[in-house]
Amino acid sequence: MILAIDIGNTNIVIGCISNEKTLFVERLSTDATKTELEYAISFKNVLELYHINPEELNGSIISSVVPPITNIIRDSVIKITGKKVMIIGPGVKTGLNILMDNPAQLGSDLVANAVAGIHEYPVPLIIIDMGTATTISIVDKNKNYIGGMIMPGIRVSSDTLTQRTSQLPKISLEPPKKLIGTNTIDCMKSGIVHGNAACIDGMVSRIQKDLGQKATVVATGGLAKTIVPLCEAEIILDDALLLKGLNYIYEKNRA
């Protein structure tokens, strides 16, 4: 059993995987002010919640897009497990063939998503990750990572809207009762939630047209559960996709 952690700009996704089965997926807030001990306590509490003894863990793996806290979290994991931690970066084998101008620029979270996608689903593949940014990754029929798109995340868009307008309030991100809003709050909710669903539908359609064939579409990330049910495109929701990818990468490098 391994501990898999993805450090994102807004959330830290944590989960345990045993024999390719994801035991749980939880999210903690990313906080650059927390100390090694504070993170260690948070991780230990999550493990205890699922009745997992840190001594049962065979190892850990981390992907991160927040370099300033990567080592802090690595050390916090070592503190509670007593074992070395693998960090996705130079020298770590992923088995992913990246056909981009500069493969080194591809985020480790997107690498992990693609690795899991190739193992779990038919190609070609469109992977949508809805976090602080909404990213779209495309894997072709030959299992090559050929590129993608980066868009403002749903919460980023919502926060920017309220910050730049004097009379629009902050809102929760849930679908309104009706598509056509009849008050300011519902109008905002519909525009943000349904608007993003329509954007995803449109991007999927354009990508498949560009590929010249139908692709498997998989969505993950903290806000995917809110948006995917409103999409017209056929999209598979896989909340554990990234953690599965970390597990595949861990096993590949352990061997």
Structure confidence by residue, pLDDT tens digits, 148-203 = 999 998 888 888 888 888 888 888 888 888 999 999 999 999 999 999 999 999 99
Annotated binding site for K(+): 129
41-53 pLDDT tens trace: 999 999 999 999 9
Could you list the residue range(s) of the whole structural domain that residue 238 is in? 97-245
Q: Are strands 85-87 and 97-98 parallel, antiparallel or unpaired?
A: unpaired
- Residue 193: DSSP 8-state: I
Q: Find all residues with CB under 8 Å of 10, minimum gap 6, and list them.
A: 29, 30, 131, 132, 155, 222
Find the helix packing angle between 241-254 and 108-120, rounded to 10°: 90
Once rounded to an integer, what is the mean pLDDT over residues 108-113?
Answer: 94
Residue of 109, 159, 210, 239 marked catalytic: 109
252 within domain boundaries = no
Looking at the fold, whether 229 and 181 belong to one and the same domain comes out as: yes
Look at residues 24, 13, 6, 15 and name the one whose alpha carbon lies nearest to residue 112.
6
Cα separation, 43 vs 37, in Å, equals 10
Identify the burial level of 193 via C-beta atoms within 10 angstroms of its C-beta, where 0-12 means exposed, 13-18 middle and 19 or more buried: buried
Asked if residue 146 and residue 241 are part of one domain, the reply reads yes
Q: Which of 58, 87, 116 is the last residue of a domain?
A: 87
Active site residue 109: yes
Which residue, of 52, 68, 87, is where some domain finishes? 87
Same structural domain, 239 and 113: yes
Q: How many structural domains compose the chain?
A: 2
Nearest to 8 by CA among 171, 222, 160, 244: 222
Q: Does 143 share its domain with 39?
A: no
With a threshold of 0.85, does the pTM exceed it? yes
Give the torsion sign (CA, 244, 245, 247, 252). positive
Asked if 118 and 125 count as a contact pair (C-beta separation under 8 A), the reply is yes
3: its two tokens: 């501990």
Q: What is the pLDDT of residue 255?
A: 62
Amino acid making up residue 201: D
Q: Is residue 219 part of a domain?
A: yes
Binding site, annotated residues for substrate: 107-110, 184
Question: Can you give the CATH number for the domain in which 216 is found?
Answer: 3.30.420.40
Exposure b/e, 75-105, CB count within 10 A at least 16 = b: ebbebbbeeebbbbeeebebebebeeeeeee
The two three-digit tokens of residue 119, written as one number:
């193992």
In a domain, 25, yes or no: yes
